[in-house]
Every structure is written in C-alpha cells, then in structure tokens.
Amino acid sequence: MKLPHFDYQAPASLDEAVALLVAGDGGARPLAGGQSFVPIMAFRLAEPSMLVDLRKIPGLDQIEIGDEGVRIGAMVRWRDLLDDARLASALPLLPAAIDHVAHYQIRNRGTVGGSLAHADPAAEMPTIALTCDAVIDVIGSKGKRSIPAADLFTGPLMTSLDSDEIITSVLLPAWPASRRWGFQEFSRRRGDFALAGIAVFYDEDASGVVANAHIGAISVGDTPLRLSKAEAALNGRKIDEATLAEVAAVASGEVDPNGDIHASARYRKALVGTLLSRALSAAANRKA
C-alpha cells in the first residue's frame, strides 16, 4: 500500500494543465483532493505516469449563486459547501446530501469536481447532479463543452470525459423557494458510503398535487440512477400513505442492485423503497 512512482506537476493555468494531460497521452491524471485517487494508487490499482495537481489553478474554487442557479467550481471542497449558509435556501437538497459525505478530514480535502470525475455510484454528488439535471462544464484539448449529468456517468467509475478533459464547474439549475425535497441515506456507520440513498424533489400546486418529480438513487446501480418509473408514479398524486407505499414499491421494482459484503441485493432493493417513502414524507411534512 505504498504509492508507485509518478511525476508531479502543479500548473498555474487550465491551458497548462490540459497541455500536460495531452503530453501524458492518457498516462497523466488530474489530481484534486486526492481522497479517492491516492488510495487507488496506494492499492496499486492505478499507476499514472504523472499527476497534474489542479490546486494552483485560479478560479476553480468559487460557489456562485445567480439567476441560472448554483455554479460550483470543480475545486470547491465539501467543507466549503457545508460552510456556505446561502445554500440552505438556494439549494437545500445539496448540503443535506453532502452532510453524509465521509468524515471531517476527507471533507476538508475532497472536491466536487473530483467526485464527479470519479463517478462512484455510491457517492452523493454524482446522484445530486443527476437528480438536479446539472450541467458539467469541462475544458480539454478540443476546447470547452458542457455535458448534461445524464451523459457524464457511463459506468462504475467511468465517465464520458476524454483523458485530457478537466471539469471546471457544475451548474445546478435554479431552485424555486416553494420546492419540496427530501434526502435519505443509510450507511453502516456515519460517513461510510451509502448502502442506498435517495434524493427527491418535486413541485406541487395549491392543492398539493405533485408535479416535476425528480428522484435519484445512490449506490444501487453501476452509475447514479434516476428512478423514472417512480417519478411517473408520483407525478399527479398527492402525498398520502397510499402514494408513499405505491411509489416506494415502484422504486424498489425499478432498481436491480448487486449484493456485496455489506448488504444483500434483496435488502438494498427494499431499502430504496423504504428510503424513498421516508424522503417523501419528510418532503411533504417540512414546513415551508
């Protein structure tokens, strides 16, 4: 569990960073907080020729809140998100989810961009991005592009990024003040990766009928998941016991998780329903 040999550069601009990645010809990797990638290297599951540390590049550590939504720089750390009081109204689902990420030490280093690029289906940020229809801005040798979250995550720890592309920010669309939301996650110990998690939000009309339901699931597939059948089952309904039970059953039926040493597949499948039902009742019962 000692690191393999690698070269190290900490460029001062995005252009330089991209140039280093291009020169590395697939062997060079960006380094953000190192909280996922350094352990991977210590286990010798990756042996990059060079790490291109993004920490000296200016402008990647901003949280901007505007009309279009919340734009988060790639190098914003979990700690920065949790310390930003504006998010409680601008995007309350986000800090509620990030509160479940790892432990203090890791939150002080781990970054939003690193988590999105790492694309762990058990991580919170990728599912939040997917649930919120976020757009990820990247830069590479072919220039800039914006990738909808739904197109970013292609498999377990796999993305549609090219090897010379760097995530610069993620935009989470604006959030109406009246929006209802819930976040539920269950892990074996506080801070552990989730056995399953649910992020949900919806808008409702004056009579409490649900529209625009968005439901994301953590840790029950190869990628972060949107539960489109459960969303369809929820839209047009009022939240009551019958709705909760029905939507929960649809959600459970919609996922096909694997079992592992921490929990069986059967358990995880059921847990999705339980957590969704709890997230929805929290959403419905939260005082506006």
Ligand X SMILES: Cc1cc2nc3c(=O)[nH]c(=O)nc-3n(C[C@H](O)[C@H](O)[C@H](O)COP(=O)(O)OP(=O)(O)OC[C@H]3O[C@@H](n4cnc5c(N)ncnc54)[C@H](O)[C@@H]3O)c2cc1C
- Interacting partner of 91 out of ligand X, other proteins, none (Cβ under 5 to 8 A depending on kind): none
Query: What's 174's DSSP letter?
Result: P
Sorted by sequence, the CB contacts under 8 Å of residue 235 that are 6+ apart come out as: 202, 210, 211, 212, 213
The footprint of ligand X on residues 111-130 (CB under 6 A) is: 111, 113-115, 117-118, 123-125
Q: Which of 99, 192, 203, 222 binds other proteins (CB under 8 A)?
A: 192
- Interacting partner of 113 out of ligand X, other proteins, none (Cβ under 5 to 8 A depending on kind): ligand X
User: CA–CA separation, 152 vs 135, rounded Å?
Assistant: 9
Binding mask 30-69 for other proteins (x = CB under 8 A): ---------x---xx-------------------------
What are the backbone dihedrals phi and psi of residue 179, each rounded to the nearest 5 degrees, phi first? -60, 140
Residue with tokens 């997230």: 279
Is residue 6 a contact point for other proteins (CB under 8 A)? no
Q: Which is nearer to other proteins, 191 or 236 (CB)?
A: 191
User: CA–CA separation, 49 vs 78, rounded Å?
Assistant: 28
User: CA–CA separation, 255 vs 70, rounded Å?
Assistant: 30
Q: Report the interhelical angle of 265-285 vs 241-254 (nearest 10°).
A: 150
- Interacting partner of 171 out of other proteins, ligand X, none (Cβ under 5 to 8 A depending on kind): none
Is residue 193 a contact point for ligand X (CB under 6 A)? yes
DSSP lists the bridge partners of residue 50 as: 7, 28
Which residues form the interface with other proteins (CB under 8 A)?
1-5, 39, 43-44, 186, 188-193, 195, 261-264, 266-267, 270-271, 274, 278
